[in-house]
Structure 1
């Protein structure tokens, strides 16, 4: 009797398929994998055999999933415990109550609800841009930048850095600078956090040779999910300037910083912008702005092309203003 039970259990285990989401297409094809997100008319399906696949939503006949998914329908959010296949152009939302059948055309968004972060989560990117011009005046220009975030429980650690250099064939250095920043966020609630930050910048060409900033203050995380994140923070900073002629300047300032990114077209394209706008509490300078905006186009699961514009302004400094704009295009990796 025991042997028969074990045999039945073994046969049942072998015959049961591995749990996977299924997408039926109007042309009769069937795709299996894991539904990652639906947004902007594209359904992103992660597969073991072909990586991430972007499926045109208009070509989807119906779909099935046993994972819990957040579904936005007619601007109303609903967490479905499962999705069940239905007739052409429809899907069944199973919520533990009488299931309901809805039109696929009425759905604007599908994604996994954000879980409570208890384990270590690490993400980031490295962008590299190169420009070698060979003409009457040769120019070598390159830029490398990284940004990474690690989250565990109520703590989030952020680090970023950048190095830029531009030289001409007569050994003239037009740009040579680097910067590094570290900040730690302690979440007080799901949205509110308190931030502490250290920043250092070194420029070997401009009059403003060194910048050191220590700041702290509250921030608010509007959202952070598979489609992107947006946060605002306010800081009280202690800033130290050191100029190339040896003079120094220090002051306190209030600043507003932002960090925004949004994935589009089935996470194929990413729009991002971040920066800080500061106002000294004394007459040291009028204002300062350090910002960037750009796009990344995903080529593979980990590689992307990027286009960025950076703006750095310090207005009203006693030993000279700073106003720099930089445009870069290159490639990068993300994790």
Structure 2
């Protein structure tokens, strides 16, 4: 009698597991159990007798008895949805069942049945090259390179920016500009984050041997999707500068404002804008650096880039202008 009761309890336990979620395949098979995860284009389900892994491309229908956490490709955050399939069309249903939207499992970067504590690191970025080469009465070579690399998981984000401008006229170097920037973000919530930033800059034309800045601040991610990305930061920085003339080093605390925006239009064109504004306290002066432009998609990797740069410093070295601007045309790659 006790043995029979144990068998019934075990069978009932397995039945409860089996009656949870449903996964239908192209070959007509139906797997019943609990959907555990989707990762690297593979679905894992616990059938009650063991864990099964199925290629996502073989799946036709998905139904979950309980909500799951989903991160879409190109997104940095997880959203909680329940899966429901009607006439072979997957629907994402909100907890209160007030919202229902169609979805494609191939758009899922990650799905998990448990609240995500950690997530995989994700990479993204772009690099652009611009050139002006002249031969004949004038021998001139001008090269501009810029780029950005972003590394992100659920709580941490690292952003590396670089920019260089080199120009030779009659085999003489007349322009030598370098800039490197790094920004670390620690997310307190999906929108708010703490920011630590640093930068190094050198500009031969302005007589700037170096400018170094280190700062801390608070940032807000207004939107963080592939189609629309907007974030802003406000904080305090320390700036060290040294000019060739008179050769003395200057140090000053400063307020720092940073803004990044990019938005995809018509699936081919991305409009972007970046700005950094510093307010030096000791000299009561402003330092502004902006870049605005368009990246037009040529292939999945290559794009054409148009970029307008505007820099302003109302406390330049003696004899130098306060503002600089440039309009650049080039090619780039995105990943």
Same fold flag (TM > 0.5): yes
Residue 250 of structure 1 aligns with which residue?
251
- Three-state SS of the structure 2 residue aligned to 1:15 is coil
1:307, 1:258 → 2: CA distance? 19
Instruction: Indicate the structure whose relative CO is greater, using CA pairs within 8 Å and at least 6 residues apart.
Output: 1
Partner of 1:303: 302
Q: What does 1:315-330 correspond to in 2, within 5 Å?
A: 315-317=314-316, 319=318, 320-330=320-330
CA-CA distance at 1:173 after TM superposition: 2.8
Deviation digits for residues 69-106 of structure 1, max 9, x if unmatched? 99xxxxxxxx79568679xxxx996738999999x9xx
Partner Cα distance (1:131, 1:312) in 2 = 21
1:121 alignment partner in structure 2: 122
Change in CA separation of 1:215 and 1:99 when aligned onto 2, cut-off 3 Å: closer
- For structure 2, the residue ranges without an aligned partner over 5 or more in a row are 1-23, 30-40, 42-56, 64-69, 73-80
Give the TM-score, by structure 1 length. 0.67
Q: 1:69 to 1:206 in 2, by over 3 A?
A: closer
Helix, strand or coil at the partner of 2:171: coil
Hey, what does 1:175 align to over in structure 2?
175
CA contact (8 A) 1:177 1:204 kept: yes
Q: What is the RMSD of the two structures over their aligned residues, measured on CA atoms?
A: 3.6
- 1:152 alignment partner in structure 2: 153
Match of 1:259 in 2: 260
Considering only CA atoms, is the larger Rg found in Structure 1 or Structure 2?
A: 2
Return the offset for 1:252. Answer: 0.9
Q: Name the residue aligned to 1:44.
A: none
TM-score by length of 2: 0.67
Q: Is the 8 A contact 1:271 1:295 kept in 2?
A: yes
Given the superposition, is the C-alpha separation of residues 100 and 295 from structure 1 closer, same or farther in structure 2, using an over 3 Å criterion? closer
Separation (CA, whole Å) in 2 of partners of 1:273 and 1:215? 21
The residue that corresponds to 2:166 in the other structure is 165
Paired position in structure 2 for 1:313:
312
Whole-angstrom distance in 1 between the partners of 2:258 and 2:175: 26
Alignment of 1:190 with 2:202, yes or no, is no
> Which aligned pairs between 1:62-211 and structure 2 lie closer than 5 A?
81=83, 95=93, 118-168=119-169, 170-211=170-211
Look up the match of 2:220.
220
Q: Is the 8 A contact 2:25 2:61 kept in 1?
A: no
Q: Secondary structure at the match of 1:262?
A: strand
Aligned to 1:334: 334
Is 1:286 aligned to residue 285 of structure 2? Answer: yes
Q: Structure 1's 238 and 100: CA in aligned 2 closer, same or farther, altered over 3 A?
A: closer
Q: How many residues are paired up? A: 259
